[in-house]
Amino acid sequence: MDYGAALLADRSKVNIQRIADHIGGDAKRFAQLMELVLHGAPAFRSWLLGPCPLLAKVIRR
């Protein structure tokens, strides 16, 4: 999934949850999201971090 394109097309809470559900516990998908957030992506993309299960694991470490 192209997370950047999906977010540009629709920044609704429903779409963000759909993307977060797609990422789920998959570390590779989460890494793709982090690339968007950390490397010049618009701030709204960070909204995805809240519902991502892997974020809690990263914060706990």
One pLDDT digit (tens) per residue for the chain, 61 residues:
898 888 888 878 898 889 889 998 899 998 998 888 777 566 665 666 666 766 666 666 5
Q: 6 with 43: CB under 8 angstroms?
A: no
Distance CA 27, CA 42 (A): 22
Handedness of CA 51, 1, 18, 24 (dihedral sign): negative
What is this structure's pTM?
0.69
- Check residue 56 and give its pLDDT: 64
- Check residue 61 and give its pLDDT: 58
- Check residue 20 and give its pLDDT: 86
Element (H, E) at 52: none
